[in-house]
Amino acid sequence: MLKISRVVIISILIATPLSVWAQNNTNSPYSRFGYGEIADRSFAAGRAMGGIGIGLRTGKQVNALNPASYTAMDSMTFLFDFGAHMQFSRYSDGENKEINRNGNFEYMAMQFPLHRRVAMSIGLIPYSFVGYQFGEVVTEGDLTYTNTFIGSGGLNEVYGGLSIDIWKKRLSAGANIGYLFGTTNHQQNVSFPTGSEASRNVKMQSVEVRDIKTDFGVQYTHPLSARENVVAGVVFSPAKKLNTTAYDILNVGNTSEKSDTLTGQRFDLPSSFGVGFSYTKTYKLIIGADVLYENWSNANYFDQKGNFEDRLRIAGGVEYIPNAQDRNLLRRMRYRAGAHYSNSYTTVGIAGGNASDRYGYREYGASVGLGIPIRTGYSFDDNRSIVNLSFEYVKVKPEMRSMIDEQYFRITLNLTFNEMWFRKLRIE
């Protein structure tokens, strides 16, 4: 009981400020569009393996990417998982360069059995990030002014998931029900030189989201031998019309702010469908791959379609353990590597071009990582907690040269506490 109370207290302490911390995770100017930059929702090992998880099935970590995976844990285990990251970013438009650094706590989740065939997970995870600041000096005739754009906020999700072992630990199904909440803020400041008769204008547009979303998953495990199996996974999220409040705030000179609620504006989340697989040789090797498709082109944003494009994400990764029972820590560690590709769901109109011409970007990433086991028992086969480190390089390549080129180097630290809480110890 003491252990349960301790984790509940830790969870509350982490979860309370996490909704604020998680919104300071990007400086990308592309987060100005849509709901912002879509977060990587993979945990622990999956993060260093290209961000996979749809076909991963392990009782050693929480895997919210596919809720069917929760029943992979045994009936004696309790998992507590949280992560944070540090990111170094470089931006270039061909003439100017800028380097930024940011990062914070990112997510937390718990997973525990309810029955020998039923398991549950609850957690707080990010959905999207907004964070940017850039500007330009504009000259129109004899008038010169500075245009500055600032964005902040993002969307987060509190979820509860349930997984059921339908058939002999080979077929599992699960679902997550999440509460999506958060606010995205986009501000434009127009400043004039000192002494100018023109007034300073500040315009802010905000979108508040408060709604329920659902995700479903299935996993099938096919044994190849006593220590080998392959897993096929499928996930699906239905399209969703969001409950939102959008409003504009205008401040001219020293006058008070005027807020106008925008009515009749529809905002949607897209339907998404993903498939994944993994091959596992127990205590030795995991190989996996995911493909995720999101139908953003049919999603409304400010009651309009056509500003988004469908998003495809492909990822693959591997984990290798030299010898899980060796006393040498370097040989017991989990060595991971992966890669991913995706396109942007947002598109940008280029100044001077046709109104119908909009361009996005392609994202390429490579990652490596370590899983460092923390021995908690007298047998190397016991469940153990793990410290996970991942190092990721991401290249954002725009479709037009005049757009911003981005590069990231991201370090993620994850702690997975794996405790045998429900086993009674026998002392002789």
DSSP states along 277-337? EEEEETTTEEEEEEEEEE-GGG--BTTB-SSB--EEEEEEEEEE-S-TT-SSHHHHSEEEE
Which of 27-36, 145-154, 175-184, 381-390 has the weakest average pLDDT? 381-390
Tokens of 344: 């942007």
Other C-beta atoms lying within 10 Å of the C-beta of residue 146: 14
Partners of 179 in beta bridges? 158, 212
pLDDT in tens, 269-297: 999 999 999 999 999 999 999 999 999 99
pLDDT in tens, 136-149: 777 777 777 788 88
Average pLDDT over residues 20-39: 79
Phi and psi based region of residue 69 (left: phi greater than 0; alpha: psi -120 to 50; beta: remaining): alpha
pLDDT above 90: percentage of residues in the chain: 58
Give the span between the Cα atoms of 28 and 165, in whole angstroms: 42
Predicted local distance difference test score (pLDDT) of residue 160: 97
pLDDT in tens, 380-396: 555 568 999 999 999 99
Give the span between the Cα atoms of 17 and 179, in whole angstroms: 17
Other C-beta atoms lying within 10 Å of the C-beta of residue 184: 24
pLDDT in tens, 44-90: 889 999 999 999 999 888 999 999 999 998 877 889 998 998 999 99
Which position has the higher pLDDT, 86 or 425?
Answer: 86
DSSP states along 62-84? --TT-GGGGGGS-TT-EEEEEEE
Average pLDDT over residues 16-38: 72
Residues 6+ apart with CB under 8 A from 60: 45, 79, 383, 386, 416, 418
Give me the CATH code for the 2-127+151-183+207-238+269-419 domain, please. 2.40.160.60
Show me where the domains of the chain are located.
Answer: 2-127+151-183+207-238+269-419
Residue 326 has pLDDT above 90, yes or no: no
Tell me the one-letter amino acid at 415.
L
Is residue 14 within 8 A of residue 105, CB to CB? The reply is yes
Cα end-to-end span (Å), the chain = 23
pLDDT in tens, 250-263: 776 666 565 678 77
